Structure 1
Amino acid sequence: MESKDDDGGLRCLVTGATGYIGGRLVPELLEAGHQVRCLARTPEKLRDYPWAGEVEVAEGDVTDAESLGAAMRGIDVAYYLVHALASGPGFEKTDRDAARTFGEQAKAAGVRRIVYLGGLTPADVPERDLSPHLRSRAEVGHILLASGVPTTALRAAVIIGSGSASFEMLRYLTERLPVMVTPSWVSTRIQPIAVRDVLRYLVGSARMPADVNRTFDIGGPDVMTYRDMMQKYAEVATLRKRLILPVPMLSPGLSSHWVGLVTPVPASIARPLAESLRYEVVCHEHDIAEHVPDGPGQPFSFATALSLALQRVREAKVSTRWSSASTPGIPSDPLPTDPDWAGGSLYTDERELDVDASPEALWRVIEGIGGVNGWYSFPLAWAVRGWLDRLVGGVGLRRGRRDAQRLRVGDSLDFWRVEEIEPGRLLRLRAEMRLPGLAWLEMYAEEGRDGRSHYRQRALFHPFGLLGHAYWWSVSPFHAVIFGGMARNIAQAADRQTESTQR
């Protein structure tokens, strides 16, 4: 990126491009005529996005000054869209240090504007008394505003859009519980906003005048309680009115576990959301409209935002999900393809079958695995494993799929994540359930004889300590049923699919 486009497009750096908002912002910036560079720790995770060929990808991290500085060169507008949502102790320091590094490198590179999306905070509660995650969001905003680079700090409450954590939590609570005992925060007033309005404000913020350096509250036109939101969801989704009974003694910790058991959102992510819902978060100004004017019907009403999100879900057109931001392990984790297995012990369970179906038909079954299609063996065993994982704070099976037919690297898939995909040949999943080790599941569709195909499957497990070894040997007696049944049923499903197309 050497200069502005002739038509006035800006050079934009987007952090968090594999996340929920970042993954949707990139195509909006491209459509607005801007050039986009994405900063990613693992650039391969961006390769399957539909816009991947239109952007430049820089490998780096917001905590690494050197890689961040290189990514900032030639940039006009830098978007800061990263947060440690589900991190453990020390996440506030990590967020603080990352924001400082980002501001310093932006100033050194001559960036003209930083755009940040944070959380809306209550006006009547001192920041020191806020929940750790809301407090950290506010602190990041202060650091960027003081960086010496003109900064737009947008503050939003609940974001409603297909695949957002807030929407998924609202959706599953309402759909699954016609009668519910709820935490007291269901009576707290909130001002939700449609994800489409958030993206519109983010894109428009790029062109703010150089003298603008401030926060802006952004929200939709409706101020309502969480109870109102659930009842409105039931109405829009044509469900019966819900009976909601608030119980004051449900703490954020307990309510996050309750949310974790009922919805796909695990307790580790539900907790900061629940903590934020304790506070009344209502916009106190709408000054953003001076710089990013609202058109007719904008911002969208809550009912409209729900209708749009539900339409996307029903049409299987969810472009990003809250789980997109999670990362499969850490860069130092070994891969099952490492020569001589650099990580030590590696247990394997391998299955192979000749399949009458074509490799194309076999691949369609492989790529469609999980979610509503299930795992092709002993459904009760998979369900129990998912329930156990939820009970210990894991993600469980409820995350499902982003798309019913297509997968891309980085997609969450129930309690797995897509680590590698070679269309038509290989799908490798890395386990994200709670385990005393690292686990993968590989499925191959290979050429066979006479137009047939060959199915190959490998389950791999790298144990951590004695507990890991004990875990493998305790479950290995069931592998013939689980993994053997999976291989046979996938082969049979491919055969049935081929027979149905030949009729």
Structure 2
Amino acid sequence: MNAEDPPQGPRSLVTGATGYIGGRLVPELLTAGHRVRCLARSPGKLRDQPWAGEVEVVRGDVTDQASVAAAMEGVDVAYYLVHALASGRGFEDTDRRAARIFATAARTAGVRRVVYLGGLTPAGIPESELSPHLRSRTEVGRILLDSGVPTAVLRAAVIIGSGSASFEMLRYLTERLPVMVTPSWVHTRIQPIAVRDVLRTLVGCAELPAEVSRVFDIGGPEVLTYRDMMLRYARVAGLGRRIVVPVPLFTPGLSSHWVGLVTPVPASIARPLAESLRHEVVCHEHDIARYVPDPPGHPLGFDEAVRLALLRVRDAQVTTRWSNAAVPGAPSDPLPTDPDWAGGSLYTDRRELAVPASAEALWRVIEGIGGENGWYSFPLAWAARGWLDRLVGGVGLRRGRRDAHRLRVGDSLDFWRVEEIEPGRLLRLRAEMRLPGLAWLEMYAEPDGEGRSRYRQRALFHPRGLFGHAYWWGVSPFHAVVFGGMARNIARAAAAHRVPSPPAVESAP
């Protein structure tokens, strides 16, 4: 190595990089100077990650001894972040076999540290009485500790962050049900933890002294019941007061079906989570702080963790949250690999049309929308919506637009605000009318070859509470007229060149 070259950081293997924690851990390790290798059954799932070009991705499966052994070559720290939670019957056998393969491969390869994230278990309850989910996670931790490789087993309860299955279940239950008839486990005491603190601790464990090989409990600063968490989530999210009525007749099986009816979280995940919630999960110690000190303000409290999890939606970063077009920038942000049911509800109305005109002509129509030019569909409906908005204290349609031909980010546009503009391609508007949720309207102009173009339009609505869902379904029958007519008329206007070109801007002499 050249004397001027910076020292290379540890080589870290991350399993589960396509999962919730693994996908967020990789960029944190890169920031900390690690050289990262990811073991993935489907490497293609990682290609859209912003860090894909900075890591080594190898194809393999934790139940395949040969691929795990190959992935372990030259590794200093191995992160075990996989489990067979949604694999149905036999998942305990699968977890057991995979952990043994991983432990053996780590010992054979001379790995100096294994780090595993498991589940927090209640004190004083025999392992045989734990839920299958917690029992399996406990067994995996024990197998890794017995590997002969120094191992840190971190045990966490509910992780607060957009995309976490536990958090998504909490989100949907609270947002969709102002009055809840719930299982008795809503009175179970839980010590939740922010995903940022989980990731900070996982990274710090890479530097634990070699003699440290043990279990650590990790949690936030508060112990809450599940009911407390629902009520506080509602307050942070700006929802109305929630009424929670526990019913002791709900079995774990019935609980999972209830969760499945109310939320999009799959039953295969909801059931083990619901079963685990019958146990109190509170930290017995905070010894990890001796080795990975808490920075000022950490661990984060529940309300702050929820606020960060909701931040992207509040800031209206639609493409960051619901598509792969933008790059997530914080542990609380969603990732391309997050499941479709994560992140809260988002209703979408999509329209797409071929336009017999150039993309430039189509863009002139898009950029000229609103104000004197109107909204290209059912003027009476738009006017009625504006009057209604004024009636309830909103801005209505009275604001018009700053310039008849050009728009810029931040401009008001009737009862919309220009949130994003890519000249010639994209206009994104955020609704500022009074709504039970957040709404956006996106319009795209795309070249389609031979002087033609394609118009794409998306209306998006993120409901707030049950009334938000009712609002969307109440107005959706009119979308074909309003949004469908809008798309057709914009395409016709572009084809007919009915919108004048903006005046030329003279260059300075």
Structure 1 length-normalised TM: 0.67
What is the Cα deviation at residue 236 of structure 1? 1.3
Aligned-pair distance for 1:324? 3.6
Residue 128 (structure 2) aligns with: 128
Secondary structure of the corresponding residue to residue 216 of structure 2: strand
In 2: Cα distance, 1:56 partner to 1:198 partner: 23
Residue number in structure 2 paired with 1:97: 97
Aligned pairs, number: 367
Residue 240 of structure 1 deviates from its aligned partner by 2.4
Contact kept, 8 Å, 1:353 with 1:491, in 2: the verdict is no
Q: What secondary structure is seen at the aligned counterpart in 1 of 2:452? A: coil
After superposition, the Cα gap between the structure-2 partners of 1:361 and 1:168, relative to the gap in structure 1 and judged at 3 Å, is farther
Aligned-partner SS, 2:139:
helix
**Equivalent residues in 2 for 1:423-434 (5 A)?**
none
2:169 aligned with 1:137: no
2: CA distance, partners of 1:497 / 1:205? 61
Q: What is the match of residue 271 of structure 2?
A: 271
- Aligned to 2:229, the other structure's residue is in SS state helix
Evaluate the alpha carbon distance shift between residue 323 and residue 278 of structure 1 in structure 2; reply closer, same or farther with a 3 A threshold: farther
Q: What is the Cα deviation at residue 175 of structure 1?
A: 1.6
Cα distance change, pair 354–128 in 1 and its aligned pair in 2 (3 A): same
2:199 alignment partner in structure 1: 199
Match in the other structure for 2:114: 114
Q: Per-residue deviation at 1:41?
A: 1.1
User: Structure 1 pair 252/51, CA: closer, same or farther in 2 (3 Å)?
Assistant: same
CA distance in 2, matches of 1:165, 1:72: 29
* Partner Cα separation in structure 2 for residue 305 and residue 500 of structure 1: 48
Provide the secondary structure at the position in 1 that maps to 2:13: strand
Match for 2:255: what amino acid?
Answer: S
Give the superposition deviation at 1:107.
0.9
Aligned to 2:461: none
User: CA offsets per residue over residues 327-352 of structure 1, 9 Å max, x none?
Assistant: 9xxxxxxxxxxxxxxxxxxxxxxx99
Instruction: Kindly provide the amino acid, as one letter, of the partner of residue 21 in structure 1.
Output: I
> C-alpha distance in 2, partners of 1:83/1:356?
53
Determine the C-alpha separation between the residues in 1 that align with 2:493 and 2:185. Answer: 49
1:358 positional shift: 4.0
How far did residue 263 of structure 1 move?
A: 1.7
Asked if the contact 2:122/2:280 (under 8 Å) is kept, the reply is yes
| SS in structure 2 at match of 1:133 | helix
**In structure 1, distance between residues paired with 2:239 and 2:137:** 35
Q: Are the aligned partners of 1:131 and 1:275 in contact in 2 as well (CA < 8 Å)?
A: yes
Q: Distance in 1 between matches of 2:77 and 2:361?
A: 44
Post-superposition shift, 1:451? 3.4
Q: Can you list the C-alpha shifts for 1:237-275, whole angstroms capped at 9, x where unaligned?
A: 222221110000011111111111212212221111111
Change (3 A) 1:110 1:494: farther
Q: Secondary structure at the match of 1:62?
A: coil
- Deviation readout 1:42-95 (Å, 9 max, x if unpaired): 111111101111111111111111111111111100000001121111111111
Residues 283 and 494 of structure 1, relative CA distance in 2, 3 Å threshold: farther
* Aligned-partner residue type, residue 447 of structure 1: D
Offset, 1:168: 1.5
Give matches, 1:48-447, under 5 Å.
48-315=48-315, 316=317, 317-318=320-321, 319=328, 324=337, 356=357, 358=359, 447=448
The one-letter amino acid paired with 1:129 is E
Using a 3 Å threshold, how does the CA distance of structure 1 residues 279 and 451 change in structure 2: closer, same or farther? Answer: same
Contact 2:46 2:337 in 1 (8 A): no
The 1:206–1:451 alpha-carbon spacing in structure 2 relative to 1, beyond 3 Å, is same
- Which blocks of at least 5 consecutive residues in structure 1 are unaligned? 328-350, 363-423, 425-444, 456-484
In the alignment, which residue of structure 1 is the partner of 2:14? Answer: 14
RMSD: 3.3
The answer to whether the 8 A contact 2:25-2:199 is kept is yes
Residues 77 and 111 in structure 2, CA contact (< 8 A), matched pair in contact too: yes
- Distance in 2 (alpha carbons) for counterparts of 1:17 and 1:29: 12
What do residues 422-478 of structure 1 show as CA deviations (whole Å, max 9, x unaligned)? xx9xxxxxxxxxxxxxxxxxxxx88332233599xxxxxxxxxxxxxxxxxxxxxxx
Distance in 1 between the 2:110 and 2:51 partners?
27
| TM-score where L is the length of structure 2 | 0.66
| Runs of 5+ consecutive residues of structure 2 not aligned to the other structure | 322-327, 341-351, 364-424, 426-445, 457-480, 503-509
**Secondary structure in 2 aligned to 1:206?**
helix
Distance of aligned partners of 1:134 and 1:352 in 2 relative to their CA distance in 1, 3 Å threshold? same
SS at match of 2:207: coil
Counting only pairs closer than 5 Å after superposition, residues 465-484 of structure 1 correspond to structure 2 as none
Contact 2:158 2:192 in 1 (8 A): yes
Task: Report if aligned partners of 2:145, 2:214 keep a CA contact under 8 Å in 1.
Answer: yes
> Taking structure 1 as reference, are residues 353 and 201 closer, same or farther at Cα in structure 2, changes over 3 Å only?
same
Q: Assess if the C-alpha contact under 8 Å between 1:359 and 1:453 holds in 2.
A: no
Please say which of residues 47-56 and 160-169 is displaced more in the overlay: 160-169
> Which residue number corresponds to residue 36 of structure 1?
36
Q: CA deviation at 1:288?
A: 0.4
Distance in 1, Cα, partners of 2:74 & 2:37: 10
The percent identity for this pair of structures is 66
Contact 2:355 2:491 in 1 (8 A): no
Structure-2 separation of matches of 1:314 and 1:248: 36
Q: Cα–Cα, structure 1 residues 165 and 496, in superposed 2: closer, same or farther, change >3 Å?
A: farther
SS at match of 2:265: coil
Q: Aligned equivalents of 1:160 and 1:112: distance in 2? A: 30
Q: Is the radius of gyration larger for structure 1 or structure 2?
A: 2
Question: Structure 2 vs 1, CA of residues 314 and 85 (structure 1 numbering), >3 Å: closer, same or farther?
Answer: farther
Instruction: Quote the offset at 1:8 in angstroms.
Output: 5.3
Aligned to 1:24: 24
Q: Following the alignment from structure 1 to structure 2, what is the Cα–Cα distance between the partners of residues 253 and 190?
A: 21
Does the residue aligned with 1:304 lie in a helix, a strand or coil? helix
Q: Which amino acid aligns with 1:145?
A: L
Please report how far the alpha carbon of residue 177 of structure 1 lies from its aligned counterpart in structure 2 after TM superposition.
Answer: 1.1
Secondary structure in 1 matching 2:298: coil
Query: Aligned partners of 1:449 and 1:123: how far apart in 2?
Result: 71
**Partner Cα separation in structure 2 for residue 74 and residue 361 of structure 1:** 55
